[in-house]
Chain A
């Protein structure tokens, strides 16, 4: 291969590699189905983000249970209207 052509191909390959790192992922990363994801993807979704979501959702069921309790109290209070006439 002519040296100028070889150099151009090497430069093109380098450009593709750089573009791949900064933009859309290629290969296994692109499908998202392979076991090994690029470290770039892991860096894109750092643990802190996942932890943040986890912590936001962690207390959700408990908080909703508290809301249910308040709703039950409201229902009981509405049902107790007859106490108004039975001193």
Chain B
């Protein structure tokens, strides 16, 4: 859907949601009045439309401000988000919130439909809170979490390697476990590479990148899913190696 069509649909949705019943009733009631009365009725009707549109527009802004609050909360609660990423995202969210609040002021002050008509599209086009900002924040948070998991697993490969070396020194056959460890290292490296690629794909997306940004965001999501699959497999492999080690220490079957 093109940006113009999106805007048209948004405006149409606003109009349909606010005025049809009242407009129709008013039209019927004014058909046989004198001209002066009709003009007054039209003015009154436009004033109602103006108020209704303002109300709906301000609700749309409030909804976006609430979403921004939620996103800020998610960033602040994250224990794995990188400081640089958090700073950039929080900065963008605060700028969006300030812009939307200023826009709300302009909408409240609008004295006619033409002015309002120019302001309403800005709610969508200038911020793209749902189409760009929210997915971007969630993808960066998820990629940093995946990166942290990869870091822990990498640390684990080091410890597992040390233990297998010690067992090997004592003549315990560790070839199979070493193969598993090599596999685990590849999975961790692959998962980490995928995770670290995501912020570079999405962090610099802005509202003007829409609608092309949607494809980029979906690609980033796919890369992140791939990271998750690799890290899951790496974790499973680590558990398998630990079982081998415990069996070896406990005198169980080490094959």
Contacts and interface: CB of A to CB of B under 8 A. Distances in A.
A7 interface: no
Contacts of B9: 85
A68 B135 contact: no
Contacts, number: 161
Nearest to A78: B135
B145 A53 contact: no
B171 A60 contact: no
Interface string B113-156: 00000000001100011110011011101100110110011011
Nearest to A79: B135
A59 B38 CA distance: 73
Interface residues of B, number: 65
Interface in B233-254: 235, 238-239, 242, 245-246, 248-249, 251, 253-254
B10 A87 contact: yes
30 contacts: A23-B169, A24-B170, A30-B172, A36-B251, A38-B170, A41-B167, A41-B170, A44-B170, A45-B167, A49-B163, A50-B163, A53-B159, A56-B152, A57-B156, A57-B235, A57-B242, A63-B148, A64-B228, A67-B228, A71-B228, A74-B138, A77-B135, A77-B138, A78-B217, A80-B134, A84-B6, A84-B124, A87-B63, A87-B123, A87-B124
Given A53-B159, A87-B56, 15 more contacts: A29-B171, A44-B167, A45-B166, A45-B245, A50-B245, A67-B231, A71-B221, A71-B225, A71-B228, A74-B142, A78-B218, A81-B214, A84-B130, A84-B131, A85-B6
